[in-house]
Structure 1
Amino acid sequence: MKKVILSVALLAIIGMASCKSEPKKETTTQTEETTKQEVAVMEGTFGVRGNCGMCKNTIETAANGVDGVSQAEWDKLRKKIKVAYDASKTDIDAIHKAIAASGYDTDKVMGDESAYENLPGCCKYDHEMEMSIKGEVKETEDMH
């Protein structure tokens, strides 16, 4: 019995040694490299009228709803929005139009009147209010 076990162990060791001495077969897998198109990310800043946090939410939601817009941040105090977008999918005019469709005036496009009428009372801004305010701006108590 010892001879059988010893013989099996010897054969296993010889088999392993012979496997190690064989040159390894290299397998090549062909990987397909996909070239990503460079995305032309543009940034823009323009004026948008509004009053409060609800305005901020609606304005940013309208801008972000445009296909290609990756970021939109409305500054309540300065009455302006900063947007980042993919120029191959949209342009700044489309963003102006989307915000105006939600009821808010921009530097280029007047807000849709029926959408403006449906805004909450705190969001009914003065159509003559200054936009894209530069310099230091202080928040007053009557601002929401």
Structure 2
Amino acid sequence: MKKILLVAIAVMGITTFASAQAKKGVQTVTIQTPTVQCESCKKRIEDHLKREDGVQKSVVDFKKHVTKVTFVSERTNVENIKAAIANAGYDADDVKAEDEAYKKLPKCCKKPEDGGGM
């Protein structure tokens, strides 16, 4: 009987320890970034998101026009991440690029209708 009780306590302790080790509040979101054109765009967005509080990782796929961001939800949210991308000069889902930042982008990073693209 004591062995069963000890095993049950050990299992409960391991389960509690494992769940406490899981990262709480970490989320990953995929944001459509249709105006991303090239490797330069990728680097610019990833560098910009490194400065965003709570962002742990960002990966821009310029061929698929998506940005995957892993962040701590207690420190930032999806709207702030979209705003950061827009402040870098790129559209992010329904958030349009900030005009002044877009104007500062190199020609290759601008929309094809503005004479950009590769």
TM over 0.5: yes
2:29 corresponds to which of 20, 44, 64: 44
CA-atom RMSD, angstroms?
A: 2.0
In the other structure, the counterpart of 1:135 is: none
Contact 1:104–1:111 (CA under 8 A) maintained in structure 2: yes
Task: Tell me what 2:85 maps to.
Answer: 99
Unaligned runs of 5+ in 2: 1-19
Task: Provide structure 1 residue ranges, at least 5 long, that are not aligned to the other structure.
Answer: 1-34, 128-142
- Count of aligned pairs: 95
CA displacement, residues 74-119 of structure 1 (integer Å, 9 cap, x when unaligned): 0011100001000010001100000101110111210011111111
- Structure 1, residues 30-55: CA drift from partner, whole Å, max 9, x if none? xxxxx989531000001112111110
3-state DSSP of counterpart to 1:108: coil
> Is the 1:41–1:84 contact (alpha carbons within 8 Å) kept by the matching residues of 2?
yes
Q: Quick one: distance in 1 between partners of 2:54 and 2:110?
A: 29
- Offset from partner CA, 1:9-62 (integer Å, 9 cap, x none): xxxxxxxxxxxxxxxxxxxxxxxxxx9895310000011121111100111122
Q: How does 1:77-92 map onto structure 2 within 5 Å?
A: 77-92=63-78
Identical counterparts, % of pairs: 32
**Counterpart residue type for residue 117 of structure 1:** K
SS in 1 for 2:53: coil
The separation in 2 between residues aligned to 1:47 and 1:70, in whole angstroms, is 19
Pair 1:126–1:67, CA change in 2 (3 A):
same
Length-normalised TM-score, structure 1: 0.60
Q: Could you say which structure has the higher helix fraction?
A: 2
